[in-house]
Amino acid sequence: MGTDSTGHDWFHVDRVRNLALYIAKCEGKGDLFVIEMASLLHDIPDEKLNSSLEEGKNNLNSFLSSLSLAPHLHAVIIEIIETLSFKGGNESSLHTFEQMAVRDADRLDAIGAIGIARAFAYGGKKGQLLYDPGLQVRENMTIEDYRKGKSSTIHHFYEKLLLLKDKMLTKTGKQIALERHQFLKTFLEQFYKEWNGDYEVNN
Ligand code: ADP
Ligand code: NI
């Protein structure tokens, strides 16, 4: 992760850890050790960072096994990470406050100024366009679709980023999301203004 340039670098992990702990402390809930461990390890089994899902799961498992953790903690940490990272994982599988805090923290890092920076970094790395006004916003686009020019990073705002505010699960997550969501909207307004070259000659 140290050198990952798709937005999953160590600093992403560190921000998720800090945000998740902040959420837990504000709400006075949750096991802080479990939240911190799950945050630190949350991207380890991600398919994008491993040659297969299986390999990712094994990496996580063998690392946790190398620590002298109580077996139930090992299982709890794995469960949080699995419900987070598996694509299409359904929200109803989130039961504990620890799961919700880590999930919100990971999603908060995808919006606001940092989220915008990550989206363009990811898009550049994958070779997709900044924007193409001729394209439609469609749900469930795959990275292949983006790469083939069927979507763009600005489209990703509508396909994912602008939807995250309403998916926050904790009270604190919702509050932080409001400001970051507003920033996405302000960014888009300015982006279109510059894109459309909306300037009048005043002389
Ligand atoms: P995470 O692992 O943080 O839960 P993802 O792996 O889905 O999230 O995405 C990592 C980052 O890259 C996020 O900030 C996300 O918004 C961004 N991203 C994912 N897919 C795209 C895309 N097609 N275009 C632009 N940004 C993307
Ligand atoms: Ni993440």
Quote the CA–CA distance of 113 and 90 in Å, as a whole number: 27
Q: Each residue's pLDDT tens digit in the chain (203 positions)?
A: 777 777 778 999 999 999 999 999 999 999 999 999 999 999 988 877 788 888 989 999 999 999 999 989 999 999 999 888 655 555 656 689 999 999 999 999 999 999 999 999 999 988 999 999 998 888 887 778 877 878 899 999 999 999 999 999 999 999 999 999 999 999 999 999 999 997 788 88
Q: What is the CATH number of the domain that holds 60?
A: 1.10.472.50
| Cα of 157 vs its chain's centroid, Å | 12
For ligand 1, atom 18, name the residue with the nearest CA.
Answer: 119
Q: Which residues fall within 8 angstroms of residue 134, CB to CB, at 6 or more apart?
A: none
Q: What is the CATH number of the domain that holds 186?
A: 1.20.58.1910
Q: Which residues fall within 8 angstroms of residue 161, CB to CB, at 6 or more apart?
A: 110, 111, 115, 119, 184
- The number of folded domains in the chain is 2
List pocket residues of ligand 1, CB cut-off 6 Å. 7-8, 43, 46, 48, 106, 110, 115, 118-119, 122-123, 143, 146, 153, 156, 160-161
Boundary of a domain, candidates 57, 90, 123: 90
Residue 199's CB: how many other CB atoms inside 10 A?
A: 8
| Residue range of the domain that includes 159 | 110-203
Same domain for 49 and 19? Answer: yes
Ligand 1 atom index nearest CA of 7: 11
Q: What ligand is nearest to the CA atom of residue 111?
A: 1
